[in-house]
Amino acid sequence: MGICKHWLWGLLVLGLVCLNLPAKPVQAADSQVTTAQQALAINAQQGQDLQHQLQDQQDKVTRLNNAVANKTLDLQQAQGKLTANEAELQALGQRIKATKVDIGQLRADLRGQLVQLQQRNQKSSLGNVYADYVLGGQDIAEIVTRALAVRKIQQVTRSALQTLQQAQTKLTTLKSTQQDQQAELVAQKSKLQADKTQLDQAQAAALAQQTQLQVQLAANQSMTQPLQDQLQQAQQRQAAIEAAAIAQRQAEDAAVADAGSEGTTSATYTKVLDANLTPAAAKNEIIQNALQFLGVPYVWGGTTPSGFDCSGLVQYCYRMAGRSIPRVSQDQSAQGHNVSLGQVEPGDLLFWGGVGTAHHVAIYLGNGEYIHAPQPGENVKIGTMAWFRPDFARRI
């Protein structure tokens, strides 16, 4: 009865270890995958939003470009009208000036005629040149002829003068109208210029906003690959943790089976549990320690989470588990005992080179995968034996 009790207690302890050891790391890995997926989805949604905003802004810029072009055309047309109106005003000024000259000439001609009449009638008695000229005739017929001539001169002169004065008045009125139109055109041009200035400012602001959106979109797109890498690393970590947990359970199940066949005393069962459970748990802890450093940059001679080289990563993970091993891969490769690559188990160390001269080391995860700090320019990551096969393995 005592033997059975110890046996059942041993199984219970072993079962609890199998269930509880992997649980938190697996949950943490699942949470990291979920977080990475959410971050990638948020980044993708932000990218789509920025694409839509950029398209709207580009449409706005296009509309403003068209508006500026149309307003520029309106300004050109207004300037054309102003130029034409100025030319008409100048022409009217010339015509008014010419009309004034004609009126002056007509008046001069009239004065010349009066002078001629005066010269013909040096002895004017009436003081009226026209009257003296008419009455100076020798007979009635000549007087009538002279009267008709004077009348005709007066009519022609009066008509010409009236025509010129009317033309001058008309030209003056037309010039005033043209001046009013000119003032209206100047005001219209001023308003068009103000409108164009506002459009230019809006266009500049829209272009600046478009540039800002392009910068934001480029930054968003630059984050896509790192986020995808993070997700891939989280998924690799998740797969490695699950594989390690499975390997641990299988090892512990095998230990229980071996323990059942070795003896029938409680001391034997306790010894079996101590000999098989503790190394498996320790190796699992080393694997969990290493997986949390995925993505840490390779630094030659690095021994901290700010940067590792290959042996620095291994030593640090062992130290976290309370175990001490040498610093460099050459010395690490001489620890423990050799294991054939076909019999390698999770937690074993893989080496490249020879025993005592190894130049690279990694921690085996299971399923042909291992975690290591590869080389300068890369980060701690998971590799496969199919891609980069080690030369030998050691079990410490």
Burial of 312 (0-12, 13-18, 19+ CB in 10 A): buried
Residues 171 and 22 in one domain: yes
CATH number of the domain that residue 379 is part of: 3.90.1720.10
Overall average pLDDT of the 1-23 stretch: 36
Residues 58 and 123 in one domain: yes
Q: Is the pLDDT of residue 385 over 50?
A: yes
Residue 138: the pLDDT is: 60
Residues 222 and 344 in one domain: no
Closest CA to 18 of 256, 258, 287: 256
Residue 359: the pLDDT is: 93
In percent, the amount of the chain with pLDDT more than 90 equals: 29
Q: Does residue 105 belong to any structural domain of this protein?
A: yes
Q: Does residue 266 belong to any structural domain of this protein?
A: no
The two three-digit tokens of residue 28, written as one number: 């943490």
How confident is residue 101, by pLDDT bands cut at 50, 70 and 90?
confident
Contact yes or no for 336/324 (Cβ under 8 A) = no
Considering the chain, what is the average pLDDT of its residues?
A: 77
How confident is residue 260, by pLDDT bands cut at 50, 70 and 90?
low
What angle, rounded to 10 degrees, do the helices at 266-291 and 310-320 form?
140
Overall average pLDDT of the 155-174 stretch: 74
Kindly list the strands in the beta sheet with 392-395, ordered across the sheet, starting from the edge strand earlier in the chain. 337-339, 392-395, 349-352, 360-366, 369-372, 381-384
Selected residue with higher pLDDT from 176 and 304: 304
How confident is residue 278, by pLDDT bands cut at 50, 70 and 90?
very low
Closest CA to 13 of 2, 21, 24, 3: 21
Helix or strand run (H / E) with residue 276: helix 266-291
Residue with tokens 């272009």: 207
In percent, the amount of the chain with pLDDT more than 70 equals: 71
How confident is residue 233, by pLDDT bands cut at 50, 70 and 90?
confident
How confident is residue 137, by pLDDT bands cut at 50, 70 and 90?
low
Residue 50: the pLDDT is: 87
User: Which of 239, 260, 278 is the last residue before a domain boundary?
Assistant: 239
User: Which of 218, 239, 260 is the last residue before a domain boundary?
Assistant: 239
Structural domain boundaries, residue 221 = 1-239
Q: Is the pLDDT of residue 46 over 80?
A: yes
DSSP string across 351-380: EES-TTT--EEEEEEETTEEEE--STT-BS
Helices (H) and strands (E) in the chain, counts: 6, 8
CATH number of the domain that residue 120 is part of: 1.10.287
Residues 320 and 384 in one domain: yes
Question: Of the ranges 6-15, 176-185, 224-233, which one carries the lowest mean pLDDT score?
Answer: 6-15
Q: Does residue 257 belong to any structural domain of this protein?
A: no
Cα separation, 325 vs 309, whole angstroms: 15
Q: Does residue 262 belong to any structural domain of this protein?
A: no
Q: How far apart are the first and last CA of the chain?
A: 38
Residues 299 and 235 in one domain: no
pTM here? 0.45
Residue 92: the pLDDT is: 73
- Count the neighbouring beta carbons within 10 Å of the beta carbon of residue 236: 19
In the chain, the largest separation of any two C-alpha atoms, in whole Å, equals 185
Residue with tokens 């009126």: 103
Q: How many domains does the chain have?
A: 2
- Count the neighbouring beta carbons within 10 Å of the beta carbon of residue 24: 11
Q: Does residue 316 belong to any structural domain of this protein?
A: yes
Q: Does residue 7 belong to any structural domain of this protein?
A: yes
User: Which of 217, 239, 261 is the last residue before a domain boundary?
Assistant: 239
Contact yes or no for 345/279 (Cβ under 8 A) = no
